[in-house]
Structure 1
Amino acid sequence: MGKRPTTKINIYFITIVITLGGLLFGYDTGVINGTQFYFSKYFELTGALKGFIVSSALLGALAGAATAGIISKAIGRKNSLIISAILFIISAWGSGLPSILPESTTLLVVFRLIGGIAIGIASMNAPMYIAEIAPAKNRGILVTFYQLAVVIGFFVVFLVTYFIGAKLSESENIAFGWRNMFWSELIPAGIFLVFLFFVPKSPRWLMINGKEEEAENILTRIHGEEIAAKEFKDIKDSIIAESTKKKASIFSKTMLPIVIIGTVLSALQQFTGINAVLYYGADIFEQALGFGQDDILLQQILLATVNLVFTFIAMFTVDKLGRKPLLIIGGFGMLIGFLLMGFTLYFSDYANVNSAGLPTISTTEGIISLIGVLIFIGSFAMSMGPIVWVLLSEIFPNKIRSAAMAVAVAVQWLANYFVSQTFPMVVESEANGLIMNGGTWNNALPYFLFSAFIVIIIVFVYKYIPETKGKTLEEMEALFERK
């Protein structure tokens, strides 16, 4: 091979840059929650059109994830992320422009779709890039940086939109404040784009495309010669072994079970109900738990803080406790949280009425239910939130990784869209209504449904998910081939 380079590349610098894609994932998804209240009034939207605009980014993410594998295979992980950064910038810039034209909700949908495509591309390529460039011993914690960045993105955008809105009157927010909220995303998106030019290409992608010397140089600059030599040999041996086999397909007899396991796990992440809580938290706090408008902001901050803290716990335990134990522990925690909330609502008499005229539970019951929500959020943040991304980046063999990740992430976005659309329908259904009004579940039905899915998750993880802690990607491939 060629001359060894002397300039080191810090693996944590690379990881932080790449995980900015995750921060933008959270930021772009969360910014709609701060803007929709005002642009809905600006455009005088109907409920149906408002719902479509809010969820349009999820459809874009589905399209982006579905095509991300093809793009990643053709131009590489790094260049795919550059494209996503450019799309984030276009989306952030364009989402504020429709207010210039009175009848331009179509433009707003188009730019939200573009942002969703960026999310879909980044959500596949960022964790895969990190997994392919990280050494096995600390790959878990490095990949969880991605989920941490998503959580930070939600937290930051919540604060940014709050401070933008707080400085303006309601009429000013309706006229132009929401545009500033969208445009605030230009700052992290621009930083992401610039710093992407300072990170290397994925060594695995380079070797798959016959650029061995460049790949070896990058591995050496990141890991040092000793680790790089082992990584290089493992990757090369894997590629040689693949070249002697028949061309792989995600639908082949040996690959399909792996793809199904990863895709089901990816979808089940959404059926925990996490985005029902994150997207409709204010409605839950007001309508189900009985808190007033003045308390909602505090509780949203509390949710974001718990989410952030427990994501850190996952980061520092994933390579010690392992992936599977965290998923099972977190599964039982999520189950306890939602059952606590569900049974509290189910046995409530809704004797009070809030300022909006809605029947509410007592303060004590509201606090117990809030504790249940926080237990759920914390348990998700230390398990299904980050660990699913770690496993998706690990379990798929090199020869199908791009295509399999695209399928798994696309299905996850489809599940996200389904849950986000159906949650308010279930909440407003007659069956979920108050017992005093002829309902059956006393506002508890959604949380019992999510609890049922969480039981399925625990059983599925126990039966089908192997422990991947400390194994190289090539060892993971061999593990699944033996199963």
Structure 2
Amino acid sequence: MGLENELHNDKHSSSSDERKEHNTARNESTASGRHASISAAERARRNLNAKLANPLAHIPHDELRKRGRQYAIEHAIAEPEDVRAFEIGAILAQDPAKYDACPDVTDEELAVLKKEYDHRWSQPKLLYLVIVLCSTCAAVQGMDETVVNGAQIFYDRQFGIDSDSQFDTWVSGLVNSAPYLCCAFIGCWMTAPLNNIFGRRGTVFLTCLYSSLACFWQGFVNCWWHMFVARMALGLGIGPKSATVPIYAAETTPPSIRGALVMQWQMWTAFGIMLGYVSDLALYYVPDQPNVTGLNWRLMMGSAMLPAVVVCCFVFMCPESPRWYMSKGRHALAYHAMERLRYKKVQAARDVFYMQTLLAAENEMKLGQSKLLELITVPRNRRAMLGSEIVMFMQQFCGVNVIAYYSSVIFNDSGFSEVSALAASLGFGVINFLFAIPAIYTIDTFGRRNLLLTTFPLMSIFLLFTGFCFWIPQDTAREAHLGCIALGIYLFGMVYSPGEGPVPFTYSAEAYPLYVRTIGMSLATATTWFFNFLLSVTWPSLLEAFKPQGAFGWYAAWNAIGWWLVLLFLPETKAKTLEELDQVFSVPTHVHAMYGLRQIPYFINRYILRRDVKPEILYEREDYSETSAEDNA
């Protein structure tokens, strides 16, 4: 059954099934107040996810043991202790939470399996080295994005594109946004072929090497179009790396901490953004040398190569992704890689055996379509794509990167001196990093969806506040003018960092099934980079045409729109296995939208009117304790 049945049912469901789903949704909407009193059997009957089950469910333990042994021997994993690990691992894969009921598990193994649930942060050191690798890659990206923030103050002037003319504002925006244009249309779409040929580690190495060379190149340009070409080339490194690293992190981490570890990408991107501001400020006073004009901004642009070089030096100390090995039919290598990332062989065998079970189901699907088309034609994939595209689009249209890329210009235009503007930008970078740290905990407890539903309204308010502060007269209240603008930007950073900052890449890396994951992640990153480009290239002209009040108000309105998109169309994915994610994304879109609307009166009844009402259970595997986080929707 499993994923194969899901696709079969989605593709070939009859019209009567559709009517049944419609009637079920209608009944749920009219009886949500009585939902808590419905019996467990009735909830299972009404639950639209019940059609999907664990592919290993209902198989006797003896049969599972036999399958595990056959799998190990078939793929030349023939050491006696490894064969035993697969016999036990196959049983554990049926229901990992029932480890204490599994026969023949030693006391030592039982203690480790129990620790997975009681102490989820207790993991092997090598797994944390993988996270260090991914985090350093993120820092590479953060510096690539923000060293230009301070450098453009100087090179715009040197290249003669610093006036308020329409031509100069568009050229300045185009040069700034060049890497993201390349990412959207070229770089991100190189992800699948690079991963297919070189694997996750190889792709990380190549893209970081290329990024370092492109950063070095930017320090030697002599006109605006030369800078544009160099920055376009930088996009060839940023695009595949930004898609590959979250996938690599998601494929090596256990579900219980997957969100927290994958979100390290965004947290350490914020750290890299901060480093970019530090570099700009530290190099501001570097004087020109004979025959070298603009040495300070050239060093700023080149400094972003340093973390990329660090990545290249230790990337191959980490194991390759077990899932990538398995997609190539190299099962023994997949097991040994997983073995390095888990404490005990039974853990590695359990995860590898379950992984191959899902892959076997995927390989039996013969839809006769390209994987790109299957993102649209297969309902489970289409719903994952919808959720991923929403969060990736809103990561840009929440307005954060107009601050990340243009904060020095914004602060300068509001009355700060150049060096004070760089220092104020550094303050935003520090806040962006520090307030991303709590998301390590909240993303796997509070949940992806609830983080967004909480922070989008606040981001909208603070952007409006920032824009309105430009009406404070500079001549009579200069300190209030400057302080309130900085305060608004900093408050925005405080609520962005634990919400729309870490969620998009985490969500996109886990939402897609393995067989379309690289294509799905390519689309997700292409989306965020395209709208990043659109944001960057239009901001100078938007600011000139509508002034700060209108420009910030524009993105404040988009944050309000983002809240509704999340409420209606974004399923929760926190702490769920691949099988459970298949169930989550099997819920028809219109059913989830109605569920989202019903959360509004529930929230009012529960938290404003203080009535004793129970949260609605949408997914089969939920219980009331698991849905408690949904209360805050």
Same fold (TM over 0.5): yes
| Cα pair distance change 1:365/1:187, threshold 3 Å | closer
Q: Secondary structure at the match of 1:352?
A: coil
Q: Confirm or deny that 1:339 pairs with 2:464.
A: yes
How big is each residue's C-alpha offset from its partner over 1:287-322, in whole Å with a ceiling of 9 and x where there is no partner? 3x4444453233212211111111111122212212
Q: Secondary structure at the match of 2:377?
A: coil
> Gaps spanning 5+ residues in structure 1: where?
354-359, 434-442
Q: CA deviation at 1:276?
A: 0.8
Counterpart contact for 1:396–1:404, Cα < 8 Å = yes
Q: Confirm or deny that 1:69 pairs with 2:192.
A: yes
1:258 partner letter: A
Q: Secondary structure at the match of 1:125?
A: helix
Following the alignment from structure 1 to structure 2, what is the Cα–Cα distance between the partners of residues 261 and 207? Answer: 27
Q: CA deviation at 1:361?
A: 6.3
Following the alignment from structure 2 to structure 1, what is the Cα–Cα distance between the partners of residues 346 and 249? Answer: 20
| Cα pair distance change 1:209/1:405, threshold 3 Å | same
Task: Tell me the residue number matched to 1:389.
Answer: 505
Following the alignment from structure 1 to structure 2, what is the Cα–Cα distance between the partners of residues 184 and 294? Answer: 19
Counterpart contact for 2:390–2:566, Cα < 8 Å = no
| Cα pair distance change 1:162/1:392, threshold 3 Å | same
Counterpart contact for 2:200–2:244, Cα < 8 Å = yes
Task: Tell me the residue number matched to 1:92.
Answer: 215
Q: Confirm or deny that 1:297 pairs with 2:426.
A: no
Task: Tell me the residue number matched to 1:457.
Answer: 562
| Cα pair distance change 1:307/1:265, threshold 3 Å | same
Task: Tell me the residue number matched to 1:319.
Answer: 444
Task: Tell me the residue number matched to 1:357.
Answer: none
Q: Confirm or deny that 1:445 pairs with 2:550.
A: yes
Counterpart contact for 1:337–1:375, Cα < 8 Å = yes
Task: Tell me the residue number matched to 2:529.
Answer: 413
Q: 2:582 aligns with which of 459, 469, 477?
A: 477
Q: CA deviation at 1:258?
A: 2.2
Work out the percentage of aligned pairs sharing the same amino acid.
24
Q: 1:240 aligns with which of 360, 367, 375?
A: 360
Counterpart contact for 1:290–1:361, Cα < 8 Å = no
Q: CA deviation at 1:344?
A: 3.9
Q: CA deviation at 1:49?
A: 4.0
Task: Tell me the residue number matched to 1:437.
Answer: none
How big is each residue's C-alpha offset from its partner over 1:262-301, in whole Å with a ceiling of 9 and x where there is no partner? 11221111000001111121232233x4444453233212
Counterpart contact for 2:416–2:482, Cα < 8 Å = yes
Q: 1:266 aligns with which of 372, 376, 392?
A: 392
Q: Confirm or deny that 1:228 pairs with 2:348.
A: yes
| Cα pair distance change 1:260/1:325, threshold 3 Å | closer
Q: 1:310 aligns with which of 423, 435, 439?
A: 435
Following the alignment from structure 1 to structure 2, what is the Cα–Cα distance between the partners of residues 351 and 94? Answer: 43
Task: Tell me the residue number matched to 2:401.
Answer: 275
Q: Secondary structure at the match of 1:165?
A: coil
Following the alignment from structure 2 to structure 1, what is the Cα–Cα distance between the partners of residues 549 and 463? Answer: 9
How big is each residue's C-alpha offset from its partner over 1:344-384, in whole Å with a ceiling of 9 and x where there is no partner? 44xx3x5435xxxxxx9643244333322211111110100
Task: Tell me the residue number matched to 2:145.
Answer: 29
> Gaps spanning 5+ residues in structure 2: where?
1-71, 83-123, 163-167, 589-633
Counterpart contact for 2:251–2:323, Cα < 8 Å = yes
Stretch of structure 1 that moved more, 35-44 or 75-84? 35-44
Following the alignment from structure 2 to structure 1, what is the Cα–Cα distance between the partners of residues 486 and 172? Answer: 28
Following the alignment from structure 1 to structure 2, what is the Cα–Cα distance between the partners of residues 31 and 290? Answer: 22
2:262 partner letter: V
Following the alignment from structure 1 to structure 2, what is the Cα–Cα distance between the partners of residues 262 and 305? Answer: 28
Counterpart contact for 2:277–2:422, Cα < 8 Å = no
Q: Secondary structure at the match of 2:406?
A: helix
Task: Tell me the residue number matched to 1:137.
Answer: 256
| Cα pair distance change 1:235/1:482, threshold 3 Å | farther
Q: Secondary structure at the match of 1:246?
A: coil
Q: Secondary structure at the match of 1:223?
A: coil
Q: CA deviation at 1:41?
A: 4.2
2:205 partner letter: I
Counterpart contact for 2:149–2:408, Cα < 8 Å = no
2:362 partner letter: E
Q: Secondary structure at the match of 1:300?
A: helix
Q: 1:352 aligns with which of 450, 471, 474?
A: 474
Following the alignment from structure 1 to structure 2, what is the Cα–Cα distance between the partners of residues 476 and 328? Answer: 20
Following the alignment from structure 2 to structure 1, what is the Cα–Cα distance between the partners of residues 421 and 225? Answer: 31
Q: Secondary structure at the match of 1:166?
A: coil
Following the alignment from structure 2 to structure 1, what is the Cα–Cα distance between the partners of residues 253 and 570? Answer: 22
Q: Confirm or deny that 1:113 pairs with 2:232.
A: yes
| Cα pair distance change 1:35/1:294, threshold 3 Å | closer
Counterpart contact for 1:155–1:304, Cα < 8 Å = yes
Following the alignment from structure 2 to structure 1, what is the Cα–Cα distance between the partners of residues 173 and 560? Answer: 30
Counterpart contact for 2:284–2:419, Cα < 8 Å = no
2:422 partner letter: L
Q: CA deviation at 1:451?
A: 1.5
RMSD, aligned CA: 2.4
Task: Tell me the residue number matched to 1:79.
Answer: 202
1:301 partner letter: L
Counterpart contact for 2:432–2:494, Cα < 8 Å = yes
Following the alignment from structure 1 to structure 2, what is the Cα–Cα distance between the partners of residues 339 and 171? Answer: 47
Query: Number of residue pairs matched?
Result: 456
Following the alignment from structure 2 to structure 1, what is the Cα–Cα distance between the partners of residues 206 and 416? Answer: 43
Following the alignment from structure 2 to structure 1, what is the Cα–Cα distance between the partners of residues 354 and 212? Answer: 38
Stretch of structure 1 that moved more, 457-466 or 227-236? 227-236
Following the alignment from structure 2 to structure 1, what is the Cα–Cα distance between the partners of residues 294 and 399? Answer: 34
Task: Tell me the residue number matched to 1:60.
Answer: 182
Task: Tell me the residue number matched to 1:39.
Answer: 155
Counterpart contact for 2:219–2:298, Cα < 8 Å = yes
| Cα pair distance change 1:294/1:214, threshold 3 Å | closer
Following the alignment from structure 2 to structure 1, what is the Cα–Cα distance between the partners of residues 172 and 294? Answer: 17
Stretch of structure 1 that moved more, 173-182 or 124-133? 173-182
Following the alignment from structure 2 to structure 1, what is the Cα–Cα distance between the partners of residues 484 and 494? Answer: 15
Following the alignment from structure 2 to structure 1, what is the Cα–Cα distance between the partners of residues 154 and 466? Answer: 31
Counterpart contact for 2:395–2:500, Cα < 8 Å = yes
Counterpart contact for 1:76–1:201, Cα < 8 Å = yes
Following the alignment from structure 1 to structure 2, what is the Cα–Cα distance between the partners of residues 130 and 447? Answer: 35
Q: CA deviation at 1:173?
A: 7.5
Counterpart contact for 1:133–1:203, Cα < 8 Å = yes
Q: Confirm or deny that 1:330 pairs with 2:455.
A: yes
Q: Secondary structure at the match of 2:283?
A: helix
| Cα pair distance change 1:96/1:373, threshold 3 Å | closer
| Cα pair distance change 1:367/1:37, threshold 3 Å | closer
Q: Confirm or deny that 1:204 pairs with 2:317.
A: no
| Cα pair distance change 1:163/1:372, threshold 3 Å | closer
Counterpart contact for 1:344–1:365, Cα < 8 Å = yes
How big is each residue's C-alpha offset from its partner over 1:46-105, in whole Å with a ceiling of 9 and x where there is no partner? 725443322211222222112213322343222111110121122022222335xxxx65
Task: Tell me the residue number matched to 2:126.
Answer: 10
Q: CA deviation at 1:329?
A: 1.4
Counterpart contact for 2:173–2:536, Cα < 8 Å = no
TM-score (norm: length of structure 1):
0.88
| Cα pair distance change 1:302/1:183, threshold 3 Å | closer
Q: Secondary structure at the match of 2:318?
A: coil
